[in-house]
Amino acid sequence: AYTRSKGSGKILKQTSYDAALEVSGSIYVAKDIIVGSNQKFEGDQTTKGTTDLCGAVHMYDTLEVDKDASFNGNVVVPNKFKISDNGAEFGSKTSSVTIGYQAGYNSGTQLSPTGSVTIGYQAGYSTTSTDNVIVGLGALSASTGSYNVAIGSKTLGSATSGDSNTGVGFEALRDASTGKGNIALGFRAGYNNEGGLKYAVTTGSYNTFLGPWTSMGTGSDNYSYSTAIGYNANISKSHQIVLGNP
């Protein structure tokens, strides 16, 4: 490699594109970067041109990208990852976006199921199904059901094989194990079993719960095709509509 000084830093020119690039200080690049092997960066990096990185990238500080960046390998950023301009694009049409500690993991291996978005601490943990949107701590864990939307801490947290469910809110549809096609919006919607007053949805399907604490009345947890709307409203049979808490 050839070196020359510029200010307090150095410019390094590597004659081989296949060698690893290790940088312990700051990097400023005014034009394009093309690197064909692995990269390790321990300081801040600012790139004004297009960056093509074909190997694994390990960042130990902040990465900010203002222009186009193409990553064909893995990107690990334990601190902050910021992308401006037109947003971020990860992977191919069939790949997934996974963000968070042990999100989408199973026995230490990241599953990254096809077509899914998984964000949050242990979100989608041990979930092997595809085409899910999972946002929240422990949401949709250990599930084989697909086409689910789980947004909120522990939402659909005990789902096993149910698919096409939508839960939005803290612990919404938390116990919906095999039920499918349910919609629950609100704090613990579809999951209100404290004190034995109500049953949480487990095997019931095609129900709609709108509002906090909306759920099933005592006596069954497998009603289907019913709707509960309003705070603390709960259904007592299948094919029923309940408005408000009487």
Tell me which DSSP letter residue 188 carries: T
Strand partners, 210: 185, 229
Average pLDDT of 23-31?
Answer: 64
- Is 80 a residue whose pLDDT tops 90? no
pLDDT score of 15 more than 50: no
Contact (CB, 8 A) for 118 and 132: yes
3-class secondary-structure state, position 196: helix
| pLDDT score of 61 more than 80 | no
CA 24 to chain centre: 32
Question: What mean pLDDT comes out for the span 159-178?
Answer: 95
Q: Confidence band (pLDDT; 50, 70, 90) for 76?
A: low
Predicted confidence (pLDDT) at residue 228 exceeds the cutoff of 90: yes
The predicted structure's pLDDT at residue 88: 52
Would you place residue 205 in the very low, low, confident or very high pLDDT band (cuts 50, 70, 90)?
very high
pLDDT for residue 145 is more than 90: yes
Burial 71-108, CB ≥16 within 10 A → b, else e: beeeeeeeeeeeeeeeeeeeeeeeebbbebebbbbeee
Give me the pLDDT at residue 4, please.
Answer: 43
Query: 3-state DSSP helix/strand/coil percent for the chain, to nearest 5?
Result: 0, 35, 65
DSSP state string for 96-107: -EEESTTTTEET
Q: What pTM value is reported for the model? A: 0.68
pLDDT attached to residue 52: 67
Among 34-43, 92-101, 109-118, 233-242, top mean pLDDT goes to 233-242
Beta-ladder partners of 98: 118
Give me the chain's average pLDDT, please.
78
Q: Tell me the residue type at 226.
A: S
